[in-house]
Amino acid sequence: MKGKHIAITGLRKRWLVSSLGPIFVMSLLIAGTFTVVMTNYYYNMMLDGLKTRANHASDYFTSNTMNSYGEFYRYANTFAAEFADRDRIELQFIGSSGEVIVSSYGLTAGLAPGTPDIAKVFQSREIEPYRGVDPNTGEHIMSVCAPLLLDDQVVGAMRYVTSMNVVQREILVTVLIAVGILIVAIGMVFVSNMVFINNVVEPVAEVTEIAKRIAGGSYGTQMENHYRDELAQLIDAINDMSSQISKSEKAKSEFISSISHELRTPLTAINGWGETLLEDTDPDPQQLRRGVGIIVREARRLTNMVEELLDFSRMEDGRFTLRIEQVDVQAEFEDTIYTYMELFKQEGIELHYDSWDELIAPIPGDPERLKQVFCNVLDNAAKHGGAGKRIDAAMSAGENGGVEITVRDYGPGIPEAELPFVKQKFYKGSSKARGSGIGLAVCDEIIRLHEGTFTIANAEGGGCIVTMTLPGA
């Protein structure tokens, strides 16, 4: 369970980092951008308001009251005393020396603000803004300073000053609301991701456990599939793999058991007859001939089994190759027929051969491998269908210069349920006949490498028929 927990934690962590990481970074960028935009918006809006107010007020003040410096001072006091927005904004009148001569607050009169906007307004004769720290109070302020003209000379300045605390609080509240919305959104994404990843992790953990059990030898183990997405396909694939491995292991076990029995039988016969002949000091010629014949026959059977095993090994690791040349397949098949005709006769089986009336042109192929197929097919016909005491073989010209060969026995045939599997390696089905169970798989591979077809079916009237087709040049 510890390994399972680590695997789940790692998968969840990777998922969250890969999915929430970009969202978190984007949220930070959005929050930062929003803060900057909102700050600039509030500040610009505040600054524009002060500029507009200063521009109108200075124009009005200059055009109506500025006839002399005395009038400037007198009306500045009146203007400041009647200033309606004194609770939010301080109105200052600045003298040419840079000191406050009149203020709507009354507390700053006689003080020099010392901010750069005052010096600039006397030089530029235009409205000058300022945002920063008040040198006298240390408070964050925003101010706008407008020139006041008398006879085209700057005799003073009208300055609007407001604290930044209020607007900074508004900006902070707005940003906090935006951040709160982002946090809620990220939280919702996190919860939805956790729900999703848990729905993925749990079945992955189950699949992991099943895979471990299969790897540990519990072949055939199945997992319940109650999903309808890609996980369902994965579980189906795992279940199918488990079933296939179980079948393969069962076939391998049966093969090992069968091949052990198949090897033991001829070896027992060879050893038995060898010991008998060695101990018989005056052997009967007929008995001697019989014993040697059995030894030769069983040795040949052993040789064939070993060859099949070697061929199977080559098939498994991809070393099974052909030596292609132009082959007189008709001659090769007929040589095999005439060889087996006498052998079958000794076993009481008639081998009938229906030859093609015309010569069949040579085709590209491996003569040794093709002869191996012919011998194996005839052996199987005698082994599984010998009870019918008859085997029919025929050859005819196929399409495009190819060849078609059929071998039919008159035995019990193959159960329909077993027909799709008879060419699989190690498969013996319900047959009790001796053999390794890989001969037909080797034959099918050889014909496939020749780009031909190798089919096995039940014949009408009983028995089994093997059809082999080989393409022409």
The model's pLDDT over 303-317, given as tens digits with 9 standing for 90+, comes to 777 777 777 677 666
Instruction: Read off the pLDDT band of 145 (50, 70, 90).
Output: very high
**Per-residue pLDDT at 243:** 83
Structural domain 230-317, CATH architecture: Orthogonal Bundle (1.10)
Q: List the beta bridge partners of residue 390.
A: 350
* CATH superfamily of the domain spanning 2-169: PAS domain (3.30.450.20)
Structural domain 325-470, CATH architecture: 2-Layer Sandwich (3.30)
CA distance 276 to 293: 14
DSSP structure class, residue 229:
S
Contact 407, 459 (CB under 8 A): no
**Per-residue pLDDT at 5:** 45
361-420 per-position pLDDT tens digit = 899 999 888 988 898 899 888 887 767 789 999 999 888 888 999 999 998 888 888 888
Identity at 402, one-letter amino acid code? G
The answer for residues whose C-beta is within 8 angstroms of residue 232's C-beta and 6 or more apart is 225
Residue that wins the pLDDT comparison between 436 and 137: 137
Q: Average pLDDT of 98-107? A: 80
CA distance 80 to 77: 5
Residues of the chain with CATH 3.30.565.10: 325-470
H or E element, residue 143: strand 140-150
Q: What is the mean pLDDT of the chain?
A: 81
Looking only at the bridges linking them, the beta strands covering 403-409 and 153-163 are: unpaired
Residues of the chain with CATH 3.30.450.20: 2-169
**Per-residue pLDDT at 2:** 44
Nearest alpha carbon to residue 127 among 48, 70, 65: 48
**Per-residue pLDDT at 403:** 92
**Per-residue pLDDT at 406:** 94
Residue that wins the pLDDT comparison between 308 and 167: 167
Residues of the chain with CATH 1.10.287.130: 230-317
Predicted confidence (pLDDT) at residue 350 exceeds the cutoff of 80: yes
**Per-residue pLDDT at 404:** 93
Nearest alpha carbon to residue 103 among 81, 122, 120, 124: 81
CA distance 271 to 213: 45
CA distance 239 to 211: 10
The answer for residues whose C-beta is within 8 angstroms of residue 246's C-beta and 6 or more apart is 219, 220
| Full-model pTM | 0.46
**Per-residue pLDDT at 4:** 45
Instruction: Read off the pLDDT band of 231 (50, 70, 90).
Output: confident
CA distance 428 to 172: 83
Looking only at the bridges linking them, the beta strands covering 100-103 and 403-409 are: unpaired
CA distance 381 to 378: 5
Instruction: Read off the pLDDT band of 119 (50, 70, 90).
Output: confident
